[in-house]
Amino acid sequence: MTVSDLKIQEPITLPCGLTLPNRLSKAAMAENWADNEYLPTESMLKIYETWAEGGWGSVLTGNVQVDVRYLGSTWDVSPDENIDREKTLASWKKWAKASSKNGTPVIMQINHPGRQSPGGAGKRGFFDKAIAPSAIPLRIGDGIVAKIASAIKFGTPKEMTVEDIQQVIAQFVETSKLAAEAGFAGVELHGAHGYLLSQFLNPSSNHRQDEFGGSPKARAKIIVDIIKAVREAVPKSFCVGIKLNSADFRNKEQLAACIEQLEEITGAGIDFLEISGGSYEDPEMIQGPKSASTLSREAFFLDFAKEIRGRFRSVPLMVTGGFRSREAMESALREDACDIIGIGRPAVLNPSLPKNLIFNKEVKTEDAKAYARKAPDLLLPKLLGIKIMAGGAETNPNNLGEQSTDNGVVPNLKWSFSDSRTRILKGGWVREQVVTDLPSSPDVSGAQFHLEKGAIRELHWHRVAEWGFVYAGHVTVSAVNENGGYEGAELGYGDIWYFPKGVAHSVQGLDTENEFLLVFDDGDFDKIGTTFHVDDWIAHTPRSVLAKNFGVDESVFDSIPPADPYIINGTISTHNVTGASPPLSGDSSFVYRTLQHAPEKIGGSGGELHKIDSTNFPISKTIAAALVTLKPGALRELHWHPNAAEWLYFHKGTAQATVFIGNAAARTFNFRAGDTAAFPDNSGHYIENTSDTEDLVWIEIYKSDRVADISLTQWLALTPPDIVAQTLKVPLEFVEKLKKEKQVLVQ
């Protein structure tokens, strides 16, 4: 099958007359990009402009809350009646214009969180309760800790009066009118993921016995009333869709109730139905059915969608959740399981996914697979207000139930990249961790970088040293030093580069998806005067000076971009550079190929450790590192580092570490892939692999020229045993059996 034959590329016309140019939709996701007036920020507009240029058949916005008093998070977009309506409308018009660039239809998802509005999110009073169909508290997870944490975060909601319900209906209508006037192609009512409309549909959260509860039909009445009222208030060509929750219907009785409700909802006049799944109360929402078929593996909710499909043939059906390959998307459409494919996290990691991957004729079908990390359980991240956007979020259970040995005041030593603001650009994305994110790391900062094929991290240099580690795909790096020494190299997994302060360099992605970790030897990486882009400099230099400097006419610089784009789309370079002298190599090389070297010889049998510092990578004089793989259940032994603080990046697996900072102060932290940490200079600690089946992989970074640690076991073993026994009140025999060789990784 050729790309030109793909059903995914076929247009589809919705009942309202809106035509989507293809079947791929950028699905709605939690974004949290509003300003302090709950209006879209400029950064948000740029991101939507990028999606609009990505070849999507439609773009669904993230949550827009209809009542500013009840938000899902502090930075949700929401109309505020205390702000001039024209100001809101003008802001939304800019948003719609950016989102619909190149003719991409953009549909606004509108929502009310109901009881899932945490305290402090929204313009209600501090002691004012959230609202819900019934006064049933939100319960996240099992156990006393989860119960207490739920109560603290959300409290018990106020049961809505009929007047409250009518007000919410009016708010959905007003938000829809604003969207239509602003230029959005339609709205999608969010009836999934445990939000207010989902709470009304679900008998476990709706115990009412009035016109809005007591039967499946009555529980759907608020949605039916909203749809009818919106239809009367907007043009006929304005699209109205709804998103429902497959996780609420898990047996025949519940499915029958769902069908009864959908008969009412579709009868009110919807243009499409999106099937999603899960809620904050359902930690399993991201786990797919354990079926052997390709479709059920790749679409968590497809089985449910097929049940609905057969009964509501006239309503275009969109399925969102788990689609990653061109093959699975095409199969779902050709088997008539759905009409539209919704794509979430991969659309963040690759905003131009349709154009660059799914519809790209140069990409073979077996290679046309989207890239996304599996998000960990949504339980505690949502509970504690942690944003989830490119996949990858987690919390620290030991903040809720500390180890019995923890004591004193230890500052936070952990930051997850999933909590960082993701800067989405044409050709890739970046998210940083700097000292304002992790105050315990004044010496080191880090960033995750994603480049699409051909995309270039443009030419630049820093006032600090840059250390890079490739963990997905392949990239080329090129660099030039003050002596005209130069080097270009293709790097893959495990390969490292180090560019000293001031060295000019660039990076280009070679595979469809490429990612790498960047580390800098300064925690305050964001401050002005840290990064210098060549196009930014040239754009701010007089043309006459440029012409004189390069010996060319001024017109050569007519197309210099006015502002540095940071990442630019490009084609893979095919040119080799030759200079007066050969490229840098040996001790002068900017590159170190970690996995081409044997791991360190260590006493323990718990895994492998690769050391990368000035002893084997001579140019790396300010950043020393170790790549550690720890077997399931194994331990990075109790130790400390005498020469520097330790910055860590967890690449794979789960871990626990207790950090001792002296004066009887110690604190335990849990880690997952995507987390960073900073353990203070000379603090005692261990790292344990908490998985029974999966290796733990992490990177240790030190602002130093060498990796150094002191083993607690070795120290005690090389100290007179009677002194140790008297100090610790332990048997002398125990001390005498301690190993005198450093173990490092203990099984």
Q: Which residues are catalytic?
A: 700
- Name the pairing type of β-strands 24-26 and 58-60: parallel
Strands 591-593 and 665-672: unpaired
Q: Which residues pair with 418 in a beta bridge?
A: none
Could you give the CA distance from residue 375 to residue 394 in angstroms, rounded to a whole number?
8
Give the SS3 label for residue 52. Answer: helix
- Alpha carbon distance 490, 507 (integer Å): 10
466 labeled binding residue: yes
Which tokens is 153 given? 């975060």
Backbone torsions φ then ψ of 435, nearest 5 degrees? -65, -25
Other residues' Cβ atoms within 10 Å of the Cβ of residue 637 = 21
Q: How far apart are CA 427 and CA 351, in angstroms?
A: 8
Q: Would you say 651 is a known binding-site residue?
A: no
**Ordered alpha helix ranges (H), 534-595:** 534-539, 543-550
Is 641 annotated as belonging to a binding site?
yes
Q: Is 703 left (phi over 0), alpha (psi -120 to 50) or beta?
A: beta
462 is in an annotated binding site: yes
Helix (H, G, I), strand (E, B) or coil at 449: strand
- Which tokens sit at 198? 């989902």
Binding site annotation covers 190? no
Residue 452 belongs to what H/E stretch? Answer: strand 445-452
Cross-strand pairs, 630: 607, 696
Instruction: Please report, for residues 550, 601, 650, 716, the alpha-carbon distance to residue 741 in angstroms, rounded to integers and kept in the order given.
Output: 61, 11, 27, 11
Contact 288, 296 (CB under 8 A): yes
How distant, in Å, are the alpha carbons of 200, 248, 272, 667 from that of 114? Answer: 10, 17, 24, 36
3-state secondary structure labels for all residues of 570-607: CCCCCCCCCCCCCCCCHHHCCEEEHHHCCCCCCCCCCE
Which amino acid belongs to residue 453?
Answer: K
Residue 474 counted as an annotated binding residue = no
Measured in Å, how far apart are the chain's first and last C-alpha atoms?
A: 51
* Cα 507 from Cα 514, distance rounded (Å): 11
Q: Is 450 annotated as a binding residue?
A: no
Quote the longest CA-to-CA distance of the chain.
Answer: 89
Q: What is the pairing mode between strands 186-191 and 239-245? A: parallel
The candidate with the shortest Cα–Cα distance to 53, out of 26, 89, 27, 32, is 26
**How would you classify the pairing of strands 239-245 and 272-276?**
parallel
SS3 245: strand
Taken in order 115, 119, 121, 127, the sign of the CA dihedral is: positive
Evaluated on CA atoms 111, 117, 121, 127, the torsion sign reads positive
- Residue 646 marked as a ligand binder: yes
Q: At 243, which amino acid appears?
A: K
Element (H, E) at 667: strand 665-672
Two structure tokens written together for 660: 């001792």
Tokens 């190149």 belong to 102
For residue 673, give every residue at least 6 positions away whose Cβ sits within 8 Å of its Cβ, in sequence order, or none. Answer: 373, 392, 650, 651, 652, 653
CA dist 461 and 19 (Å) reads: 46
- Cβ-Cβ contacts under 8 Å for 286 (sequence gap 6 or more): 278, 300, 374, 375, 377, 378
Q: Which of 394, 443, 447 is nearest to 419 (CA)?
A: 394
CA distance 51 to 29: 13
Structure tokens at 149: 């944490």
**Residue list, annotated binding site:** 460, 462, 466, 505, 639, 641, 646, 685
**Residue list, annotated binding site for Mn(2+):** 460, 462, 466, 505, 639, 641, 646, 685
